[in-house]
Amino acid sequence: MKGKVGKSNDNRISLTVHLQPNEALLVDAAASRARMTRHDLARDLLLARATDDTPVLACLARLIAIHHRLDHARLLDDELRAEIVAAVRELTRAARAEVDG
């Protein structure tokens, strides 16, 4: 099997999570409450944990999660609209703090 020599530009990772049936039910319920797929919920939670110390990246992760919700949403409800506004405001504050800091 021949492969490329050197460093790959592909930084993707793939995770598989094995859950007990009761744990899977908890994930299903949480995803349903958040109006997200299980995949999007897990991705959102993982990115939130990975970006705790980087405010701009954390805000961008929130915007990505919102974007995924919008892909599946038929109407823009008040809760989602408020979440978009809050994320944009937080992103603006974080970007200013990093520039000024």
Looking at the domain assignment, is residue 21 inside a domain? no
Tens-digit pLDDT profile for residues 34-67: 888 888 888 877 776 655 566 776 777 777 777 7
Domains in the chain, number = 1
Does residue 96 fall inside a structural domain? yes
Q: H helices of the chain, where?
A: 21-33, 38-50, 55-72, 78-100
Residue 5 placed within a domain:
no
User: Per-residue pLDDT tens for 60-75?
Assistant: 777 777 777 776 666 6
Query: Following DSSP, what letter does each residue of 16-43 receive, concatenated?
Result: -----HHHHHHHHHHHHHTT--HHHHHH
Q: Name the DSSP class of 10.
A: -
pLDDT digits (tens, 9 = 90+) for 3-14: 555 566 777 778
Residue 31 is assigned to a structural domain of this protein: no
List all residues 6 or more positions away from 81 whose beta carbon is below 8 Å from its beta carbon: none
The answer as to whether 9 is a domain residue is no
Residue 78 structural domain: 40-100
Q: Helix 38-50 to helix 21-33 angle, to the nearest 10 degrees?
A: 90
Residue 74 maps to a domain: yes
